[in-house]
Chain A
Amino acid sequence: MTISQVHEGLEKKQFSALELCKSYLAKIKKEDKKIHAFLTVSEDLAISQAKKVDNLISRKRKIPALAGVPVAVKDNILVEGVLCTAGSKILGNYLAPYDATVIERLKKQGAVIMGKTNMDEFALGSSTENSAFGPTKNPHDLTRVPGGSSGGSAAAVAADLSVFALGSDTGGSIREPASFCGVAGLKPTYGAVSRYGLIAFASSFDQIGPIANTVEDCQLVFDAVKGKDPLDSTSLDLREKKGKINKLRIGLPREYFDKKTDDPRMEKVIQAAIKKYQEKGAKFIEVSLPHTEYTLATYYIIAPAELSANLARFDGIRYGFSAKDSAKKNLMEVYLENRGQGFGPEPKRRIMLGTFVLSSGHYEAYYLRAQKVRSLIRKDFEKAFKKVDAIFSPISPFLPFKIGEKIKNPLAMYLVDIYTNSANLVGLPALSLPVGKVGNLPVGLQIIGKHFEENKILEIAKWNNLRT
């Protein structure tokens, strides 16, 4: 179901919000055993929210676009009174004491929160296999990964266990799972959506965004959650006007279509989508992003550096996992053991990496150098965007891979994000649009826009008018 179908159904009294909510709850109970999209199902909250919406309808009030619409929330976004684990044992018992700003805004609209979705631990990963609570499976093929780190959110939408979902994207974590699960996902411009109440991974990259069945749904959710929030000083109001696009110019970065790494079956689907846009009058121009081969290295220095600082707060003293205590232990041992036992392998690996690149003697050679290369990557995009309205590229060089295929080699897993990292390094909005399939496996097209031009890339995505 789409958001507007739910809205219409409620207004025409074809079903009540409570009926809809209960049918989704029943479906989750029945079908999520095999997919494992949810870590927590917030049944009581969902039912009480649905009743409120029905109450509004019975009093003949006009209801907002998202009223009564089931939503699944990635488990690194705080929902008051509901467990929030970030896919980690160290937060296995953490009950969120407040609502994230995005949740407050969704609640104001009357969206019905079905539960919290599985994710790679602290959003570190591209397959959801790094969750401390077991992997999520791709609804299109249960032997394959749903992508990550917002794999539970994307799988929940793809399996129709929720109408839409919220994810977070630090290096591709909304776009890649959306692509792998055949749904649409938007990573907004850095600052477009408040990060208050999002468990931080890399603070200069993180953005919350929607995952939904259609581009229209992504737009509705984005409009509901975006905008300045006094509780996140990096958040801003969008300045873009909505409008018609004529004379669409789209850039194809020659470095983003790599014959050596990209799956050729997938490339065919992407090329067919490009052809469709050409037929509708879009003009394609080859552009160059010369520092593309350095984006992944830049990302894997800066993001772990920011992560190691952000994850320092998890020490098991104020909240979270606490190792077995003994009178003999000193404070240092308490820290070492709480963190050593609480974090899984991927957070540990990246905390170590981040600590290394920030440490005295290595700071300039790694961290500072990467921050400078980040400027070069930004300039590449500034130059390319002088000639075009948007950039098209694959989301990932790979089709959804088998569970277990890449998990033993961290570097191979990092390469999955090669086409999505740059939008985070530069802070650009980017979306993942399902454009076809190889066999039963979905393929996504990435559309990257200029800062604060999410409306434009959403409009461009609507041109495709294709659902898989």
Chain B
Amino acid sequence: MISKKEVKHMAKLARLDLTEKETVKFQKELYSILDYVSKLNEIDAEIAGVSRTDYTFSDESVVRQDRARKKDKEYAAGLLKLAPKTEKGYLKVKSILK
């Protein structure tokens, strides 16, 4: 049901570097889990015309003003301290443009 190539593709989409051993293991495990959840195919006739449930309890949409909450400099500095790499108050990442 799921090929090794597909497992590798999923891993790339999910940004997970998998070892060869992990790839083989996940192929087997995903196969058995997907096989189990395919149980839902049994009730195809019943779900025709049924609407989906995304949230279980929502009376109305909740909206708020899109306003930034002001935080002091110290707070911002604290957040930056959590980052592995920073420079001049910015996060530092690899260049994406050649």
Q: Chain A residues in contact with chain B, CB under 8 A?
A: 94-95, 97, 189-191, 204, 230, 233-234, 236, 291, 293-294, 296-298, 300-301, 308, 312, 315-320, 322, 325, 329-337, 339-341, 343, 345, 348-349, 351-353, 355-356, 359, 366, 368-376, 378, 410-411, 414, 425-427, 451
Contacts and interface: CB of A to CB of B under 8 A. Distances in A.
A376 B75 CA distance: 47
B16 A339 contact: yes
Contact of A352 (B16, B46, B53): B16
Interface in B53-75: 53-59, 62, 64, 75
10 contacts: A293-B39, A294-B42, A318-B91, A336-B12, A339-B15, A356-B10, A359-B10, A368-B52, A376-B46, A426-B56
Contacts of A329: 94
Given A334-B93, A352-B11, A359-B10, A366 B56 contact: no
Contacts of B11: 352
Interface of B: 2, 6-7, 10-18, 22, 26, 29-30, 32-34, 36-44, 46-47, 50-59, 62, 64, 75, 78-79, 82-85, 91, 93-96
B39 A315 contact: no
B43 to A, nearest CB: 7
Nearest to B22: A348
Nearest to B57: A427
Nearest to A369: B40
A291 to B, nearest CB: 8
B40 A370 contact: yes
A340 B16 CA distance: 5
B39 A297 contact: yes
B46 A331 contact: no
Contacts of B22: 345, 348
A334 B53 contact: no
Contacts of B26: 348-349, 352
B24 to A, nearest CB: 13
B57 A300 contact: no
Contacts of B83: 317-319
Nearest 5 CB-CB pairings of A with B = A427-B56, A340-B17, A371-B52, A319-B82, A322-B84
Nearest to B19: A340
Contact of A372 (B15, B17, B52, B96): B52
B58 A234 contact: yes
Nearest to B95: A331
A242 B88 CA distance: 56
Given A308-B14, A351-B16, A366-B37, A233 B62 contact: yes
A127 to B, nearest CB: 17
A368 B54 CA distance: 10
B29 A410 contact: yes
Given A334-B93, A373-B47, A375-B52, A301 B37 contact: yes
Contacts of B84: 316-317, 319, 322
A204 B33 contact: no
A331 B58 CA distance: 39
A247 B95 CA distance: 69
A359 B13 contact: yes
A376 B47 contact: yes
A391 B12 CA distance: 44
